[in-house]
């Protein structure tokens, strides 16, 4: 029942199903893919919806510092609040693994509004600076 509310759509990335037709995905998996798509898209990248996306891509050359992590956290929360109305973002944490200074892990805890299910997603964010 709730999967009808969440909707169905093309998978990300687009792929053919077993019968060589376009496979559709729905429910909680569609929401997970939507979050990934929001984080992977830079504003201005989509022709007909130029504001869509998350502005984290402009930060890839910044130094890996606590200030960068704070800016990333704010941008992720703002983008998900604006572009994914099917969820409530509970927490966004930016972690820097001690063994790798050239990437950060964006950990997102969220609740699906239709069924109150709790999920988390980890999005890797690669920075080219590596200092900090």
For residue 31, which phi and psi values (nearest 5 degrees)?
-65, -45
Question: Looking at residue 94, what is its pLDDT?
Answer: 95
Cα 12–31–118 angle (5° rounding)? 140
Q: What is the mean pLDDT of residues 82-88?
A: 95
Which of 20-29, 56-65, 80-89, 95-104 is the most confident on average? 80-89
ω into 58 cis (within 30 of 0): no
Q: Each residue of 38-69: pLDDT tens digit?
A: 999 999 998 999 999 999 999 988 888 899 99
Question: Looking at residue 7, what is its pLDDT?
Answer: 67
All structural domains of the chain, each given as residue ranges with its CATH number in brackets, are 2-126 (3.10.450.40)
Contact 114, 7 (CB under 8 A): no
Distance between CA atoms of residues 73 and 77, nearest Å: 6
Q: Please report where in the chains the tokens 């869509």 appear, as a residue.
A: 52
**What are the structure tokens assigned to 80, written together?**
């998900």
Question: Looking at residue 12, what is its pLDDT?
Answer: 63
Contact 64, 125 (CB under 8 A): no
Helix runs in 1-132, H state only: 2-6, 27-40, 66-83
Question: Looking at residue 8, what is its pLDDT?
Answer: 67
Sign of CA dihedral 91, 67, 83, 61: negative
Question: Looking at residue 14, what is its pLDDT?
Answer: 64
Question: Looking at residue 2, what is its pLDDT?
Answer: 46
The answer on pLDDT for 3 being more than 90 is: no
Q: What is the mean pLDDT of residues 76-91?
A: 96
Mean pLDDT of the chain: 85
Which of 5-14, 91-100, 103-112, 121-130 is the most confident on average? 103-112
């Amino acid at each position: 029942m709730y999967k009808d509310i969440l909707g169905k759509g093309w998978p990300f990335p687009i792929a053919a199903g077993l019968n060589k037709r376009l496979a559709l995905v729905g429910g909680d998996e569609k929401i997970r893919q939507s979050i990934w798509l929001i984080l992977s898209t830079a504003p201005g990248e989509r022709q007909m919806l130029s504001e869509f996306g998350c502005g984290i891509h402009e930060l890839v050359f910044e130094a890996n510092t606590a200030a960068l992590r704070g800016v990333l956290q704010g941008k992720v929360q703002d983008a998900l609040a604006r572009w994914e109305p099917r969820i409530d973002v509970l927490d966004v944490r930016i972690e820097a693994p001690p063994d790798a200074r050239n990437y950060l892990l964006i950990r997102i805890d969220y609740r699906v509004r239709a069924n109150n299910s709790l999920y988390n997603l980890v999005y890797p964010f690669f920075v080219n600076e590596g200092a900090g």
